[in-house]
Structures are given as structure tokens and as C-alpha cells.
A = this chain, B = another copy of it.
Amino acid sequence: MTVRGRARTIDMPTKRPAKRPTKLDLAKNWLPRYTGMAVDGFGDYILLTNWLGYVQRFAETFGCDVSGIGRPMQAATNSAGLSIINFGMGSPNAALIMDLLVARRPKGVLHLGKCGGLKKAAEIGRFILPIGAVRGEGTSNDYLPPEVPALPSFKLHKFVSQKLVEHDSTRDYRTGVVFTTNRRVWEHDADFLRRLKSLTVMAIDMETATLFVVGHVNQIARGALLLVSDYPVTPEGVKTEESDASVTRAWADMHLRIGIESMTGISEHGEEMRHFRY
């Protein structure tokens, strides 16, 4: 008996010829495979992160389980119906999770990411609520033509911004444009830094543009709240083991807390978000 013979189809009729699966078929089967959590285990609102640490802290806070250990993604859901997913790093994983979430059709998704600051206003420890992202990653080109801007859902960001204002201790948050790239090791590259400067971007990360574009294609309300964790414009600001741990100690709790409050309150107090088809 071959391996192939043992493989079952997904929501397929048993008689031949089998139909090609739809995107929804794939997402329903794959979201549990990647996260170890059933589709209905996820809540209406979802936080995204690149670190297992955020998922663990979330689970400790709410006394809930972490699923997906040993799988590519880990997830947890609290009793209020808010979920958090560590989807890994980089634009392909960002596109993947925004495709898989089609299975759950969440009402809102907020990415809690880190970014490198590129302007004086974006110093370490600042929060950035990106109003758009430069699609330097290529991945989103598989979803929409390159001239379509990568944008968050306005009403979702408006609500997050209210939460930021309520937290005096967050100092001023920044709004601006983020450059999303697939490169991680570029801090030595003067040409690349010159290009970043010419684009007038405030910060650099590896996921935001992709999350926005694929979220738009899949009609998922989405946003991003980024924490400036390094400042690669000056040699002293380049991320190191020590500086990264220091940023995490100082700011990660606040980052996660604002994310949780934003996506918990939005269902009661946020403006209704609509998604229009063409």
C-alpha cells in the first residue's frame, strides 16, 4: 500500500474525478495542521506575533493552553474569545497565516511586531502605528499588482490609536510608513541604507506590507502595532543579543497589553468595519 494511497482528500467527494479544492477547503484543513488548533478554537479577534514568548505570556495571563508546540505555528485563545498566533518570521509566513485565516473569517487581526527605526522620531521603545507599508518584499506581488498600496483597515487602527492615547506611559506613538523587506542582514550595506533614506520610510520590518495586502485580498480587517526594537541607522543602535533582551524587558509587556486591550474592546466600542467586494 503506497503512501499516496493512504492520503485522504479534504472535503472531497469519494467518487472520481475529484474536484480541485478551493482556497477555503485548503485553509480549513491547513489552519489546524499548522497551529494544532481547530478552526473553531480561534476567536473573532486575533493577535499575530513573531515570538513564542508573546503567546506564552498571553497564555499565562489568561490561564489558557498553548497549542502547536512542535508545529510551525503556536496559538492560544482566552475565555473572551481573543486569540494569539505566533506565525514565525518573514513575508511568506505572513502571507500564509492571512490565507489560512480565511477558514475562520476573523473580525479583526492585529499584528504585534518589532521594527527597526530609521528616523530620529522612531527611537528604541517607541510604538509605530503604520499608515502604510512599502512593498519591498515581493511576496505580495503574487497577490496584487505592485502599484496597489499596502494599507491597514482605518477603523481598526483608529481604535488602537485610542488605546495608545489612553496609555500615558506609552509616550507619543508615531504614525508613518514602514519598509517591508525579505533581507535581514543589511545593516552593513550603505547602498541599502541610502535607498531606505530615499524612500522616506520611518521604519523597516519583514511582514507588515504582506499582512496588509493579503489581508485586503482576503477581506480581513487588519492592523499592525510595531515596537521599535533597534535603530540601525547608527552603529550603536544595531540589534545585539543584549540590546534585544533589554528591549523585551522594558517594552514587551506594554506592547502585548495594548494589543490585548485593543482587540478586546473593539468588538463593543469600535466602529463597524465593512469589506466591500468590487
Contacts and interface: CB of A to CB of B under 8 A. Distances in A.
Contact of A100 (B151, B172, B185): B185
A136 B19 CA distance: 27
Given A26-B185, A92-B92, A124-B2, A154 B142 contact: no
A241 B236 CA distance: 46
Nearest to A190: B20
Nearest to A234: B18
A3 interface: yes
B144 A240 contact: no
Contact of A99 (B2, B25, B185): B185
A152 B158 CA distance: 13
A132 B151 contact: yes
A151 B200 CA distance: 13
Interface string A9-25: 11010000011111101
Interface in A69-117: 70, 72, 88-93, 95-96, 99-100
A256 B221 CA distance: 30
Interface residues of A, number: 114
B149 A134 contact: yes
Given A72-B89, A92-B206, A276-B120, A246 B3 contact: yes
A131 B154 contact: yes
Contacts of A70: 52-53
Interface stretch (A41-49, A175-183, A258-266): A175-183
Nearest to A99: B185
Interface string A123-144: 1110001011111111101101
Nearest to A25: B188
B197 A278 contact: yes
29 contacts: A3-B250, A4-B123, A6-B243, A6-B246, A7-B237, A7-B242, A7-B243, A9-B236, A20-B188, A20-B235, A21-B187, A21-B235, A22-B188, A91-B92, A92-B183, A95-B182, A121-B276, A132-B151, A134-B148, A142-B181, A142-B186, A144-B199, A145-B199, A149-B149, A154-B175, A155-B161, A165-B271, A197-B278, A200-B216
Given A4-B123, A131-B151, A153-B175, 13 more contacts: A4-B124, A4-B237, A7-B242, A20-B188, A23-B185, A30-B185, A119-B276, A120-B276, A120-B278, A121-B276, A131-B131, A165-B271, A176-B276
Interface of A: 2-4, 6-10, 12, 18-23, 25-27, 29-30, 32-33, 50, 52-53, 70, 72, 88-93, 95-96, 99-100, 119-121, 123-125, 129, 131-139, 141-142, 144-155, 157-158, 161, 165, 172, 175-177, 181-190, 197-202, 206, 216-217, 231, 234-244, 246-247, 250-251, 271, 274, 276, 278
